[in-house]
Every structure is written in C-alpha cells, then in structure tokens.
Amino acid sequence: MSLMYPTIFASSIKGLGRNTKIGGSILVMAIIGGALCTPLMGYISETTDSMAFAMTIPLIAYLYIFYYSFNR
C-alpha cells in the first residue's frame, strides 16, 4: 500500500492547475481513513465475532478506489 501512494498522489493532482495545492492538501488529509477504518473494523469484528465480516470495510474502500480510477 505504501508503494501505491506516490502514484495515487501524482495521478490525483495531475491537471488541477491552480488548485494543485488545495488538492494535494485534501489528499494528504484523506489518509485519516486509515485511522478511522481500523477501529471500525475492530468494532465490527468484536460485535459480530467475524473478522471476515469486518473485512467488508476495506472491501468498500477498494471498490471506491477502483470506481474512482476508472471514472477519473
């Protein structure tokens, strides 16, 4: 995942023109998803006793990334 970040960052701010600085800032702030998704996964796995069900959280994130990459 850490190897993908530079590519995602460069691809995301490409073509923003004068909005490159704000776009880059928003993208850096989006890293908070890792701080929110992990506790959410822990909560779901503890309440449902199923780590497999908790893995739906990263699945949703990856599906959104897939959608974004093809509709950009």
Q: Which residue has the tokens 């701010």?
A: 13
**Structural contact between residues 58 and 52, judged by C-beta atoms closer than 8 angstroms:** no
pLDDT at 1: 59
Return the structure tokens found at 10: 């460069």
pLDDT in tens, 20-49: 898 888 888 777 777 888 899 999 999 999
Q: Are 40 and 57 a contacting pair, CB within 8 Å?
A: yes
pTM listed for this prediction: 0.58
Q: Which residue has the tokens 């990856």?
A: 62
State the residue for tokens 């503890």. 46
The pLDDT tens digits for 56-67 are 998 998 898 788
Rounded to an integer, what distance in angstroms lies between the CA atom of residue 29 and that of residue 3?
A: 18
